[in-house]
Amino acid sequence: MVWFARCENTMSTMKQSRSSSGSPPEGFALEGTLLFKRWEAMKQEILLHKWYESERRGYDIGWEKACIDWQIRHGRRFRSPGG
């Protein structure tokens, strides 16, 4: 799950750099890309899964465990280009 941590860190860094200056760096157009949109959709699905599983178990399962569990159970539909 190192990949998820790296992606999350990269997205956070990009959002911080954007929010500090008020606009994206020159030549920066990642937010309009399919990759960014798919990452945001996947991230929201994982966060929802994390909440649901945490509620079901009665404790916070954490981001990494939620990522792993979500990938095993639901990740296949995000791997294919058709969604």
Q: Give pLDDT, residue 50.
A: 95
* 1 lies in some domain: no
Count of domains in the chain?
1
* 34 lies in some domain: no
For residue 71, pLDDT over 80 is answered with yes
Choose between 62 and 38: higher pLDDT. 62
| Alpha-carbon 31 to chain mean position | 13
Model confidence pLDDT, tens digit, residues 3-45: 555 556 555 655 555 555 555 565 566 777 888 888 888 999 9
| DSSP-derived secondary structure for 9-75 | HHHHHHHHHHHHHSSPPTT--GGGSHHHHHHHHHHHHHHHHHHHHHHHHTS---HHHHHHHHHHHHT
Selection from 21, 28, 22 nearest residue 10 by Cα:
28
Q: Give pLDDT, residue 55.
A: 96
* 16 lies in some domain: no
* 38 lies in some domain: no
pTM beyond cutoff 0.75: no
* 53 lies in some domain: yes
* 26 lies in some domain: no
Q: Give pLDDT, residue 51.
A: 96
* 60 lies in some domain: yes
Q: Give pLDDT, residue 9.
A: 57
Residue 58: which domain range? 47-83
